[in-house]
Structure 1
């Protein structure tokens, strides 16, 4: 997710009906709470008021302010460090882990959680328009690359004409995968492609390879039967793929990666909450960022983009969704 809106190549068509889980920098398939348990955790006692004072003291001797944040990676090493730093700044940062990522936005919208951290801007735009909500970014976190891997070839130039390339079949990652293949010179997309391109947009006569959409979780296992696969960073790490051996990856530092900037999200009414701004600042503390990058095997790129800029980007994506 990268200051141009992602209408880079051309006008952007509609977003998919159902948003897809954006890639994260670390391994994603670990032990998670079930949705039922989460409902009990976030639902007990009703919603949580943002900035609620709790018993206990910060390092400075003042009362702690509790902030509950929904995540999908609570077992990663950076969370204890971030929580410790938050406590030193008077914040009791409590994570609620989700295995069903479709629950994280409703939990914020309904006031059961204060924040969440799991999604990129295109995902958020799609959710807001589908659910008639106005969740908004309060800060950015990182972008991760999307890579093309192969067990049959060691260089991009070795991929033969007519080769079969597996790509994720969920709409957000599918479109990004097609753009990766276009940048790699393997496919040509009609009109230059957009963030919502589909295989139907491939100019087959001008393309070197054909694509086979599969479930994102199957892209790694498909490598034994195809010439290559575009694999989300989290699945690549889970599948013990070395990001350094990807035949090609998109550039997370490019402006074309802006749709995939991952963000910390709140309700619109709380977008200027100073406690939330402090959490964003602490996320980018070098001690935290170092662990986030290490978890991704040095593939994630921290992004510090002003919240106002993130909201402008989000508004542009929401217009695209509304135009459907």
Structure 2
């Protein structure tokens, strides 16, 4: 899911070294706990982020134990089964789908970062240049395909039915003045197929892995404002008001974590808290 770059050991240590100057409040001593809070994340670059978050939390008396996953379905299941106290890997539409399918009672408690998707082209320099009968590739999983079509709608390429909510498919296109053909491809394939397409919507991490020049070949991008795809820390609903939750979120919402997100992801992900 993430770009294949991470902080050097020196960089991580430098960020951790800034802990002595953190403005982390110690007023709520009830937030401390004798056991470690168990947080599930995806393996990869997020591990570097959470090393810093863990150190921040320890400064305020909260011990955090991180568990990594490679299967995106597993962290919510583990949270619902109370094998975890929190997880941090998903956005709203993904959680909505998981909750509807499995009856989870999981709720967001604090934003982490935003991973914008982009519209890329090797043939055209702007969205306005996309010709009649162009072919645009999109990821074929429900969450990302819906997101891709919503991006095309925001760029005035086509329109989809409001009744489709956040999960429209090509069948929900209601207005297509350029007669665009939507080609549904696996999320890991759509970026590599760009030479054979007029354009493609690709998650930024897959765009980098596919060798796409993010800045030069991107002709459209999601905006973060009012975007439902912002990622967050989530807990079981029954724990939402627990004192440790605010401490955990505060440990993430720190300047050294903001800097780490910018450095590690090189623009693929951006901090999503003010």
Same fold (TM over 0.5): yes
Q: Residues 138 and 202 of structure 2 are in contact (CA less than 8 Å); yes or no, is this contact kept in structure 1?
A: yes
Indicate the residue corresponding to 2:104 in structure 1: 133
SS of residue paired to 2:188 = helix
Q: Residues 66 and 92 of structure 1 are in contact (CA less than 8 Å); yes or no, is this contact kept in structure 2?
A: yes
Partners in 2 of 1:250 and 1:136 — Cα distance?
24
Post-superposition CA distance 1:274-324 (Å, at most 9, x none): 11211111111010011113333225343338xxxxxxxxxxxxxxxxxxx
Query: CA 1:134–1:272 in 2, change beyond 3 Å: closer, same or farther?
Result: same
Query: CA 1:211–1:63 in 2, change beyond 3 Å: closer, same or farther?
Result: closer
Query: CA 1:232–1:94 in 2, change beyond 3 Å: closer, same or farther?
Result: same
- Any unmatched runs of 5+ in structure 2? 7-31
SS of residue paired to 1:91 = coil
RMSD of the TM alignment (CA)? 2.5
Aligned counterpart in structure 2 of residue 71 of structure 1, from 19, 37, 41: 41
Q: How many Å apart are 1:264 and its aligned residue?
A: 0.8
Query: CA 1:193–1:185 in 2, change beyond 3 Å: closer, same or farther?
Result: farther
Identify, as 1 or 2, the structure richer in strand: 2
2:233 is aligned with 1:264: yes
Partners in 1 of 2:109 and 2:251 — Cα distance?
13
Indicate the residue corresponding to 1:166 in structure 2: 137
2:121 is aligned with 1:150: yes
Q: How many Å apart are 1:232 and its aligned residue?
A: 1.0
Aligned counterpart in structure 1 of residue 248 of structure 2, from 258, 276, 279: 279
Indicate the residue corresponding to 2:3 in structure 1: 27
SS of residue paired to 1:275 = helix
Q: How many Å apart are 1:168 and its aligned residue?
A: 0.7
TM-score of the superposed pair, with normalisation by structure 1: 0.69
Partners in 2 of 1:184 and 1:303 — Cα distance?
22
Q: How many Å apart are 1:65 and its aligned residue?
A: 3.8
Aligned length: 247
TM-score of the superposed pair, with normalisation by structure 2: 0.81
SS of residue paired to 2:153 = helix
Post-superposition CA distance 1:42-63 (Å, at most 9, x none): xxxxxxxxxxxxxxxxxxxx97
SS of residue paired to 1:247 = strand
Segment drifting more, 134-143 vs 296-305: 296-305
